[in-house]
Chains A and B, each alone.
Chain A
Amino acid sequence: MDVANSIRIALIGLKSKKTRTFLTMLGIIVGIASVIIILSVGAGAQSLILNQIRGFGSNLISIFPGASEEEGPPPTVFGTVNTDLKNEDIEALMNSKRVPHAVAATYYIQGSETFRWRSQQFDGTYIATTASYLEVHDEIPAKGRFINKQEEKNLARVAVLGSNVKKELFDNLDAIGEKIKIGRHQFKIIGVMKPRGVEGFQNQDNLVFIPISTGQKIIQGIDYVTLARVKVDSPDNIERTVEDVRQVLREEHRLEVGEIDDFSVRSQAQAIEIFSAVTDSLTYFLAAIAAISLLVGGIGIMNIMLISVTERTREIGLRKAVGAKNKNILNQFLLESVVVTLGGGVVGIILGISISWLVAYIAQYLGFDWDFVISFLSIILSTTIAIIVGIVFGLYPAWKASQLNPIEALRYE
């Protein structure tokens, strides 16, 4: 008896119970689709995060307040408020001769506020920063000018609008010279930025820039910064500069030898590494959970196959009476189980790819830098898992069927 014939018999068996076959398949379909979707969405989310990090430029170093493990994320990621990093620290960095490759440095605090102009209002984020922001981020305003050194120091109430904030509040009118309210405080508009889109997880066009001193003292009443960035002359000098920055900050913070840093210095490469590790482990963890549904699907198959063997006892008896050997019966039931799981696997893969594509499409439509990624490995893996589930969970029922005594099977009521 050839394989084609065995498959034909298995298909006839399955066709006679279409609804049951489909419901049995459903477990595998959901399981395989989940694995594919999670792997794809995981890869897509990772691409989004990495693209965002890359969007900053590869020659920037970030300084976060608070200690962290060398390979771990900075503490601000977890929402901890840390007051250790001050304006003077960053000024000291730039004044020190011991950080020769630092070209410029800037530091920020930020907050959410409602921006108002006449009857118009817009909920967005303000960034209180230094004049050097432009140099660090390679930006120039589209109109007007950015905050200058003097304004940075003397609590000037001036603001530079992101392109979208300008459009929402003023539409086509000229905004320069107008006064807007940020919360309770009035600011004079001195410039409008160019459209920049999403960078570093933030839509840069929804921001309003104000002088750092104004943000710290007038709006928030604090004397620390939440983030600083140093621009390095060349990507080749990043590692060295990270170390230079550390040393200067340790001295500034008067840390003894052996004391751990109360700040974290990170390069883009490190950030990419950390985020990749975090998203990878998250993806595999979720895929493992999805794989559990495959196990449940497999148990479902075993259950249904056992019922099927009992229901078809007379058929098995008849098949044996007309000459089927034990191995023919074993093959038939095993093939039925593999056909169900493989069929479920194929449908699951198609469904998984479709949903992943839809997720990517929607994400891209919403403006995220999201890649549609389906790894060939995940498809091979899913198909293999489907076949293995079919064999493993089909084996016992098939073996049970093959061992039936033909006479007892024929007499079965």
Chain B
Amino acid sequence: MAKEKKLIKLIDICKQYENEEVVTKVLYDINLEVNKGEFVAIMGPSGSGKSTLMHIMGFLDKPTSGTYYYKGKKVSDFDEDKLADIRNEEVGFVFQTFNLLQRTSVYDNVNLPLTYSDKKIGDQDVIQAIKSVGLYHRKDNLSNQLSGGEKQRVAIARALVNRPEIIFADEPTGNLDSQSGKQIMEILQDLNEKGNTIILVTHEKYTAEHARRIVSIIDGKIVDDYQVKKRLIAKDEKYLTK
């Protein structure tokens, strides 16, 4: 049982980029475990390597060295197609810049992962995902007709539609006003309450404090890893007054 609970285990993960003669080290010996149902914020300043870490954990990028176990299996053993399948069925991404398909309806955007999936998920699930972010009334609108907050909610619905194990959110409130940001955090906290594992990347301590656990990263190294004692609840008015 305990083994099943552990979703992610990183051992001595390093990442460096080589560009002609310049070698840039981004991550140094990262050791991290994430369990099912956790809400982890990876917090650090710009350029600290937090996004790179998220990309590695999200099967979008590969470490230069170290070992990544996902559900007890070595990720380095997976081929490109297997990684694509995992990205499709087991994780969902929410990006700072939304990354919606332009001039495409809300419905089609949310439906996008299903076009690459063998899972038998029907219309109802797409509608359910759209409803869960409160955008049912806009399901036929084109993505460019939405506000920033609405776009991010569509992105969350898209991340949810395949019922993933983990949702990765990279600065999801970074491009939003505080009211919209509050709504997004509210949705993420809700999802976590319902059992979804959430890994949030942010440079704001304030946003990070909505998570249950904060992993601080500076210059590619984990400098702190602690459970949040006084967690901020997005529904709470405090968010707005701060």
Q: Which residues of A contact B (CB under 8 A)?
A: 1, 5, 8-9, 12, 16, 314-315, 317-326, 328, 406-407, 410
B113 (CB) vs chain A CBs: closest residue: A322
State the CA gap A315–B93 with chains docked (Å): 14
State the CA gap A323–B158 with chains docked (Å): 12
Interface size of B by Cβ–Cβ distance < 8 Å? 27
13 contacts between A and B (CB under 8 A): A1-B115, A9-B115, A16-B104, A314-B99, A319-B112, A320-B84, A321-B58, A321-B87, A322-B92, A323-B117, A323-B162, A328-B116, A407-B61
Contact at B87–A323, with CB atoms within 8 Å?
yes
Quick one: given A321-B87, A410-B99, are A12 and B104 in contact (CB under 8 Å)? yes
Contact at B60–A321, with CB atoms within 8 Å?
yes
Name the one of B60, B95, B102, B117 contacting A16, with C-beta atoms under 8 angstroms.
B102
Q: Which of B61, B108, B116 lies at the interface centre, i.e. has the most chain A CB atoms within 10 A of its CB?
A: B116
Q: Which residues of B contact A (CB under 8 A)?
A: 55, 58, 60-61, 80-81, 84-85, 87-89, 92-93, 95, 99, 101-104, 108, 112-113, 115-117, 158, 162
Name the one of B55, B104, B158, B162 contacting A407, with C-beta atoms under 8 angstroms.
B55
Chain A residues with CB under 8 A of B80: 325-326
**From residue A380, how far is it (CB to closest CB) to chain B in Å?**
33
Chain B residues with CB under 8 A of A16: 102-104
Given A1-B116, A16-B103, 19 more contacts at CB 8 Å?
A9-B115, A12-B101, A12-B108, A315-B101, A318-B101, A319-B112, A320-B84, A321-B58, A321-B60, A321-B87, A321-B99, A322-B88, A322-B112, A322-B113, A323-B116, A326-B84, A407-B60, A407-B61, A410-B60
Chain B residues with CB under 8 A of A9: 115
State the CA gap A399–B92 with chains docked (Å): 26
Chain B residues with CB under 8 A of A322: 87-88, 92-93, 112-113, 116, 158
Chain A residues with CB under 8 A of B58: 321
State the CA gap A328–B55 with chains docked (Å): 21
**From residue B201, how far is it (CB to closest CB) to chain A in Å?**
14
Chain A residues with CB under 8 A of B112: 318-319, 322
**From residue A15, how far is it (CB to closest CB) to chain B in Å?**
8
